Amino acid sequence: MTRCGTIALLGPSNAGKSTFLNAVLGTKLSIVCHKRQTTRTSIIGIHTEGEAQLLFLDTPGIFAPRSPLEKRMVATAWQSSIGADAVLLLVDATRSLENDDIQTILKRLNTSSTKAILVLNKVDLVKKDSLLAKAKAYMETGVVEDIFMISALKKDGISRLLNHLVSKMPEKPWLYPEDQLSTKPQQFLAADIIREKILFQIHEEIPYELVVVPEIWEPLEKGGVRIVQTIVVQEDNHKPILLGKGGSKLKTIGQQARLELEGFLGCKVHLVLHVRVDKRWQEKNQYYTETGFH
């Protein structure tokens, strides 16, 4: 009998949720950066092995939101946990349990009577005695039913966690073909890749106040695909920073994104990027719809 179920990945920003999902899938599905707000929407990663199909919902990091975008992000994360067959609370083992974001999550789980599987990530960076004490403290919160210790970056401890998750999934048919890795359309994944390159190239607040909107995705006669996307920034002075002198910064971002997209898609990519200013984009539902934000 086959098994199939959903697993919500919850945790603070930079806990390693996307790194964990990429390690499970054996490919890069979620963009990864050391900066906050890297993941903005829920991404379903599909892991099929043996008789089981695990549907992982990689969610935005949970923190104290301020802007309309941040409020949507946090709401999306919590919404993903509703009805899930299992909830993974993934936290950075080097962080204190008293961290404000961690405490917010624990209190919310306690209020909703949701039991979570705690996944302590980056355990290779913590001494064993300290790690055991931290695990004990989490168990005493009353919202943790099991604890696993992993290093997502080194892919240590993941197999044991996956075996446990399989045992918790309901017996029912798979929902997707065996070779499918995600439910997210390629144009949205491409937009995420572009935003990742911006995160590494542009600093301060600009990457958190922009959105990448898919415009055109069309096959070329000689093979490959033409992709046109628009980067919408929030302030007039953000546009020249993103463009760089003579358009050099945007060109670098485009070159890096194109190379990764060609590897991801397995074909030649003609990538065109535009930049436009919309000071109120965060207040407009059209941008959330156009970028696959739920």
For residue 33, what pLDDT is reported?
43
For residue 38, what pLDDT is reported?
47
For residue 59, what pLDDT is reported?
73
Q: In a 3-state reduction of DSSP, which class is residue 291?
A: coil
> For residues 209 and 232, what is the distance between their CA atoms, to the nearest angstrom?
9
Q: In a 3-state reduction of DSSP, which class is residue 188?
A: helix
Helices (H) and strands (E) in the chain, counts: 9, 9
Cβ–Cβ < 8 Å for 9, 20: yes
| Digitized pLDDT (tens) for each residue of the chain, 294 residues in all | 899 999 988 888 888 888 898 899 887 765 444 444 445 456 788 999 999 999 998 776 665 556 666 566 656 666 766 788 999 999 999 999 998 889 988 988 888 878 899 999 999 999 988 999 999 999 999 999 999 999 999 999 999 999 999 999 999 999 999 988 887 778 888 888 898 888 888 876 666 678 899 999 999 988 899 999 999 998 999 999 999 999 999 999 999 999 989 988 889 999 999 999 999 888 888 877 766 655
CA 8 to chain centre: 11
CATH of 3-168 among 3.30.200.20, 3.40.50.1360, 3.40.1080.10, 3.40.50.300: 3.40.50.300
* CATH topology for the 186-290 domain: GMP Synthetase; Chain A, domain 3 (3.30.300)
Q: How buried is residue 54: exposed, middle or buried, by Cβ count under 10 Å (0-12/13-18/19+)?
A: buried
Q: Where are the domains of the chain?
A: 3-168, 186-290
pTM for the structure as a whole: 0.70
The bridge status of strand 52-58 relative to strand 116-121 is unpaired
- Please list the helix, strand and coil fractions of the chain in percent, rounded to the nearest 5, in that order: 40, 25, 35
